[in-house]
Amino acid sequence: MTDHAQIRRRRFMTLTATGIAGSSFMHSFGENAHADTKSEQKPWLRKTLKVGMIRSKGSLTDKFNMAKEAGFEGVELNVPGIDIEAAKKAAKESGIIIDGTVGGYHWGQRHTDPDPKVREVALEKLKQGLTETAAVGGKTMLLVPGHGKDGTDAEVMERAQTAIRSALPVAKEKGVSILIENVWNDFCYDHEGGNDQSAERLAAFIDSFNSPLVGVQYDIGNHWKYGDPAEWIRTLNKRIKKLDTKGFSREQGKFTKITEGDINWPSVEKALRDVGFTGWLAAEVGGGDLTRLKEVSAHMDESLNCNKSIAGAG
């Protein structure tokens, strides 16, 4: 190769490399700039609710329209057994997002039931639920993995882990996360215990799967009786993929409207910001007509400043 040819080749390689690097830099800059622009307008919490809360006569589209008018961006359906085409039609016509689903079987057929035949039915419903969730565009399926009274701690844990591990291939194929909700089921907490319990057992359960497809749909009100939600949030941290919300009064010993209990909402909000949570917040309280749903939506805003932008949420 002549000297001139070598010079031309080096110059070409230099320009090419510079062009690639510049292109990558601008592409990266463009994405970040776009993300920043969107984040200024995007609320840090996106409001959704359980479909059973919507007390509207008429079609599923009518229900979705009511939810949207009340201030909700999403709706969670119950699986398995949904009408997939009707759900997709309702979402398209209303503009509502089906952000996820809830396992509607997990009390009747528990994954920790001592009877292996019952567990087999539960597993098939979990797999079907994941499939239906994906079919309607949902990204998460809420799961109550079992009940602590179904056996010894070791038996219950092993059965729950086996079920979820067996369903993970379907979750991966469909791109749907399995989210564990903290409920009053004697699982990963002591139902007869005090109000100073931690989320460490639940965190360890999630970690046992070593999968980004298994996380927590943390219900802020459900365990106020047993521990501090802010501390549970900090312990669960990035394991929290989604939130449920309701009110609870320790003094009265009962669930309440979101803003009528004695949960320290400012401390909850600070904990969520501290762990960097942004995403879906699902109402799980008594529903009703449009007036009631608007009240629920307003209570969500009042408790956690849902409409504050992501850029201003830190």
Mean pLDDT across the chain, nearest whole number? 89
Phi and psi at residue 206, to the nearest 5°: -60, -45
pLDDT tens-digit map of 171-229: 999 999 999 999 999 999 999 999 999 999 999 999 999 999 999 999 999 999 999 99
Beta strand 140-143 with 247-249 is unpaired
Which percentage of the chain shows pLDDT scores above 90? 83
Fold of 43-304: TIM Barrel (3.20.20)
Which percentage of the chain shows pLDDT scores above 70? 86
* Confidence grade of residue 310 (pLDDT, cut at 50, 70, 90): confident
What are the extents of the domains in the chain? 1-41, 43-304
Q: How many Cα atoms within 13 Å fall on the side-chain side of residue 65?
A: 11
pLDDT tens-digit map of 97-140: 999 999 999 999 999 999 999 999 999 999 999 999 999 999 99
The total number of residues shown for the chain amounts to 314
Mean pLDDT in residue range 26-37: 34
Query: What are the distances in angstroms from CA 285 to CA 28, 54, 66, 296?
Result: 42, 11, 16, 8
Nearest to 162 by CA among 93, 200, 113: 113
Report the pLDDT value the prediction gives residue 14, as an integer from 0 to 100.
38
* Nearest-angstrom CA–CA distance, 279 and 43: 9
